[in-house]
Structure 1
């Protein structure tokens, strides 16, 4: 079948649809089928309560896929009725639907923007394509069927966006790329949201570098022609937007390729001429913060002010987190106060950044003040934040180990906090050093209950603790138990 892109020369297309495809030769129209006219009449003129029972009684043997398609075509101005007819034939097994009959309904639902229903039928059609012919790619088979019935159904290009998104939802990236390429070869572009979804999914599943390659292909950035000396024209029809670049920058950031984040930022402004939004600035600031380049992050912050970009809680959290990670807690606290003055509500992440920042610089008292304010506002701290406080209390102020133990106990009770092995071992070690053996034993019992077997560090803490408490007998017994436990564990691992 030879397919080419045209606009119908004699008939004005209906709103929302345009004749994009035609075939060199079209088959002759089949003679009128009384069954089809009868079914259409029943569906359109009978009351909703009687039409289905009438259909079943007059047509007990149901309909062929081609008959279903013809009936549905005559109902295309009533897509909800077309869908109910489809569900009726499925429920009572009155039609052995194939890819062709599903394609007709997909077009009708798509042209009426019934996205979710059209997507459900696409998924069914893909399953049927698998059953019909295992040798042909099922996405390609459905794509060809949609093209074949496109003009007759008065469809709209949006139907192919639904096909691509359905492929992405079912993790069929190759199928989605194939559809995009076949449409592109005919000068047809997907919607920007579909293009972005394709780039994002490729980045997520195949890496940021492949996502970047897909971005350049989808938007036709490498398909250029010279207009005159020193100038070029991009052939791609759809222009990438800020969301396109935000997605790619985040993908590279997650993979630790912060330099690529900067490259894409420059490309967004220089090559494509797209204006960044607030989230774009946040991703770039995050990349600078991750590399410890706070001067670069602060420069971006100032640029946002100059350009009038609205500072939201995401922007503040990004900058506060970067400053705290790089031990500039004083500046972070200034931004925290600025948020309050501007009436921007903090999130749990805002407080966690500050708690961790204060712990890093050894100011546990300030960290506790922020943590208590966080709890008053009913925010729950992440496990790493609580463990940072425990480490601060135990590591620098050994006499505050009881306070740390109570904090962990409260967090476990109130917010389903699950301490790590490191957290348990630190508490046990400090309690043993303070001679609080009974309390250390209670925490060790809780640790075992959570599935953590005693390690050499745990045994050593108890051995030293009982030694300090002048209980040499218990200390010696623990030393023997530790040796036996380590020997048994070594045998199990071997």
Structure 2
């Protein structure tokens, strides 16, 4: 069925990974399906909403095979609204911006494609990636109308959408609903709810779920640690953040640049600049890690505030060598640092340079 093929293409983890799927490697003259698909995709992308469906119907009165439908959805996946519209057109045989209940009832009798939980999950993920929380909720409601039972993945997608909006009360209801249904909370579900609580500053609740997860025998991931570390960084608990960061490194996990930025900022705010620099050096030991300009900026400001201008200058040179331009905040940090040392000449030179840089930025 078309839907079962669609779900195979779209059903991926929540991490925003690029899907890759090629058509047959045969040349176009041996692959007429390729021409059919490209024609359909062109109509969907370039024609107006009201005309595209009638045009498709006139060109392809018998519709599409499951393989053809799945390839079409794949090629328009970056536009989830259009993908959903095409999916519904395939299901209903026609499309209107507002499909009323009479049509829905008729479709249940004459439906050509019966969507399953994986189909709905795929659509929910599409809209979640596109930031359409309301649409995610609509798809969830559609599952009930089709008498389709959500699975753990379905719950995780909806919880992730609610977490992004800070709707943790609704997330907890879904969490308990899973428990009532004796549905196992997997690592995706735990990471989702832990991240949600950490983002709103309820770290204790996140830690509680973290302990519950480990007692259940579920192994934590790098994402689990990063949620907790970023949470502690947000509330300024430097000791807890450092403890978790070290534990994460001992387990062989590598922090993302955003987490490293947060740790460096937290350490520098607590006048632990050398410790922050050491953390950056260790992270840079991983060939896949690329430091961001924000990390350099924070460290330079930290050294300037401590009057360690030589260390700050070395970092600034390293920063420029990696292609980052000095910001106005970095100029201000150096100017303040040299002024505190009584070196007004260098401070004045930097002030003029900063003014010229600012003028160039405004012109551009």
Q: 1:480 to 1:345 in 2, by over 3 A?
A: same
Measured after TM superposition, the shift of residue 361 of structure 1 is 1.7
* Aligned 8 A contact 1:292 1:326 in 2: yes
Report the alpha carbon displacement of residue 490 of structure 1 after superposing the two structures with TM.
Answer: 5.0
Residue in 1 aligned with 2:147?
Answer: 273
Question: SS where residue 326 of structure 2 aligns?
Answer: coil
Please report how far the alpha carbon of residue 471 of structure 1 lies from its aligned counterpart in structure 2 after TM superposition.
Answer: 2.2
- Give how far 1:173 is off: 2.2
Answering whether residue 148 of structure 2 is matched by residue 243 of structure 1, we say no
Deviation at 1:472? 2.5
- Cα root mean square deviation, aligned: 3.3
The equivalent residue for 1:392 is: 266
Between stretches 349-358 and 272-281, larger displacement belongs to 272-281
Whether the aligned pair in 2 keeps the contact of 1:351 and 1:374 (CA below 8 Å) is yes
Contact 2:40–2:72 (CA<8 Å) still a contact in 1?
A: no
Of 288, 294, 297, the match for 2:168: 294
Assess, with a 3 A threshold, how the Cα gap between structure 1 residues 377 and 296 changes in structure 2: closer, same or farther: same
- Provide the rounded CA distance (Å) in 1 between the counterparts of 2:274 and 2:136: 45
Q: Determine the C-alpha separation between the residues in 2 that align with 1:257 and 1:353.
A: 23
- Which sections of structure 1, spanning at least 5 residues, go unmatched? 1-115, 130-138, 143-162
Cα distance per residue 1:88-117 (max 9 Å; x no partner): xxxxxxxxxxxxxxxxxxxxxxxxxxxx99
Distance 1:257 1:459 in 2: 41
Deviation at 1:475, TM superposition (A): 2.2
8 Å contact 1:421–1:447 — kept in the other structure?
Answer: yes
SS at match of 1:120: coil
Q: Given the alignment of the two structures, is residue 173 of structure 1 paired with residue 45 of structure 2, yes or no?
A: no
Change (3 A) 1:198 1:312: farther
Query: Which of 210, 215, 233 is 1:341 aligned to?
Result: 215
Normalised to the residue count of structure 1, the TM-score between the two structures is 0.60
Instruction: State the SS of the aligned residue for 1:219.
Output: helix
2:127 aligned with 1:252: yes
Partner-residue secondary structure (3-state), 1:303: helix
Change (3 A) 1:423 1:414: same
Find the residue that maps to 1:292 and give its secondary structure.
coil
Consecutive unaligned residues in structure 2, runs of 5 or more: 1-20, 45-51
Equivalences, count:
330
Closer, same or farther in 2 for the Cα pair 1:285/1:360, shift >3 Å? same
1:411 to 250, 261, 283: 283
Q: Is the 8 A contact 1:401 1:430 kept in 2?
A: yes
Give the equivalent residue in structure 2 for 1:351.
225
Q: So what's the TM-score if we normalise by structure 2?
A: 0.80
Distance 1:329 1:476 in 2: 46
Aligned to 1:422: 294
Map 1:43-192 → 2, pairs under 5 A: 119-121=24-26, 124=27, 126=28, 128=29, 142=32, 163=33, 173-174=41-42, 185-186=61-62, 190-191=65-66
Deviations 1:318-343 (A, max 9, x none): 11111111212111111111221121
CA gap 1:185/1:478 in 2 versus in 1, 3 angstroms: closer
Q: What SS class does the counterpart of residue 159 from structure 2 fall into?
A: helix
Find the aligned partners of 1:345 and 1:351 in 2 and give their Cα distance.
Answer: 11
1:447 is aligned to 319
Greater relative contact order (Cα 8 A, min sep 6): structure 1 or 2? 2
Are the equivalent residues in 2 in contact too, given 1:242–1:275 (CA < 8 A)?
A: yes
What is the deviation of 1:485? 4.3
CA distance in 2, matches of 1:406, 1:117: 45
Counterpart contact for 1:429–1:458, Cα < 8 Å: yes
Q: Which has the larger radius of gyration?
A: 1
C-alpha distance in structure 1 between counterparts of 2:208 and 2:172, whole Å: 14
- Counterpart Cα distance in 2 of 1:231 and 1:454: 64
Counterpart CA distance in 2 for 1:255 and 1:189 is 26
TM-aligned CA deviation for residue 231 of structure 1: 7.6
Say whether residues 1:216 and 2:88 are aligned partners: yes
2:137 and 2:74 mapped to 1: Cα distance? 18
Whole-angstrom distance in 1 between the partners of 2:22 and 2:164: 44
Q: Deviations over 1:174-196 (max 9, x none)?
A: 4899999589844x7733x7655
